[in-house]
Amino acid sequence: MFLNEEQKAIQKVAGDITKKIIAPMAKQYDETEEFPWENIKQLGKLGFMGMSVPEKYDGADMDMVSSVAALEEIAKGCASTATIVAVHNAAGILPILMFGTDAQKEKYIPSLAAGNSIGAFALTEAGAGSDAAKVATTAVQDGKEYVIHGSKCFISNGGAADTFVVFATKDRAKGVKGLAAFIIEKETPGFSIGKHESKMGIRASSTTELIFDKCRIPLENQLGKDGEGFKIAMMTLDVARIGIAALATGIAAGAYEEARNYAKVREQFGKPICVNQSIGFMLADMAIQIEAARQLTYHAAELKDANVKFGTEAAMAKTFASDMAVQVALNAIQIMGGYGYSREYPVERMMRDAKITQIYEGTNQIQRVVISREILK
C-alpha cells in the first residue's frame, strides 16, 4: 500500500498529535475512566472529528484510506480515543450523511464535524445484539410526532454524545423490514442515559445504556424512509468495520513497538534478548501479522473509496486484524515478562483494549457468517 503525499501528511499529523498529547495521557485516562475531552478538542481542530464530511458541511473531506491511516496512528497511543473518533465518524455521522435530508445534514453535520458535538449509534439491546430483527424498542406515530419507547445497551459514546442515531421498530411483525432509524438529541424529554459500563478495556470511552420512556420526537427526525432502517444499519456497520480494523492494527503496532524496543535493550546472559531466536522469531511473526492486517484494511478502504462493493473485505479486515491484535498484544506481554504484565508499561493496557475489537461492530463469529455466505454463493 502506497500513500500519496496528502495521505502521508494526514498520517503524520495524526501521529504527531498522538505522540505529543494523546499517548502521554492514555494511562491516566485508562485508570480514571475519564472521557478524554482534551484529546477530542484537539482532534476536532485538526479535522479528525469530521474526516469523511464534505467541506460544505465544514468537514475535512478525507478519503477512507486517509481515515484509516489516521485511526491507526491514534490507536497506537490510546485505543479509547481512537474508538471515540471511529464511532463518531462512521456510526455517528455517516448515517446522517448517507441518508439524511438536506435539512438534517445542515442541522447536525457541521457541529459533529467540528467535534463541538459527539455522535453515537444505538442498535444493540439486551435481546438484540447480532440479531437486529429482535429489536424491541418501538416507534409509534402520534400526530406529528413519534413516541419512542424502549432501551439500548453497550452504546459507545453514550454518555458523551449529543446526537444519537437510534433504531426502533415501527412494525414488529415485519421483522427487519419494520426497522426504522431516527435522530434523537440528548436533551429530548423522555430520553435519559442509564447505566455506565465499567469495562475491561477502552475504559476512557463512554459505554452506556440508553432509556426511552415515551420519548417524543418530530416526524422529520426519521432518518431515511420506512423500511430502510436495516439497510442504514448494515451499510453503516460495513464502513465502521474498516475503522475497527485500522484501530486493531494500531493497537497491535503500538504493542509490537513497545516489545521490540524493550527486547533490544533488555539483557540476559550478557546479550540483548532480541538476539535469541525465540524472541527474534516472535517479533518477526508479529511484524508479519501486523503488515498483513494493514494490507487487508487498506484494501477494504480503497474499495470503499472506489465506490465498489466492499462489505466482505471489510468483514475480512476486521476479523483478521482484531484476532491478530489480541495475539500480538499477548506476545508483547510475553516478551516483556513481568514488566509486560505490570502497569508500568502500556502493553497490558493494549491487550485489554485489543479484546473489544473482536466484539464490537459485529462479533468475529458473525463476521465469519458474513464471509462464508459470500464465498459459498
Amino acid at 244: I
Cα first-last separation, the chain: 29
Residues 183/139, Cβ–Cβ less than 8 Å: no
Q: How many angstroms separate the CA atoms of 322 and 356, rounded?
A: 8
Q: How many angstroms separate the CA atoms of 374 and 377, rounded?
A: 6
Give start and end residues of each alpha helix (H) in the chain: 5-17, 23-32, 37-45, 64-77, 79-86, 94-99, 102-114, 229-265, 277-305, 311-341, 347-355, 364-375
| Catalytic residue selected from 38, 187, 361, 374 | 361
Q: How many angstroms separate the CA atoms of 37 and 190, rounded?
A: 26
Residues 165/148, Cβ–Cβ less than 8 Å: no
* 38 counts as catalytic: no
Q: How many angstroms separate the CA atoms of 215 and 198, rounded?
A: 27
Residues 112/88, Cβ–Cβ less than 8 Å: yes
Q: Is the dihedral of CA 228, 242, 364, 376 positive or negative?
A: positive
C-alpha cell read off for 367: 463476521
> Which residues are part of the catalytic machinery?
361
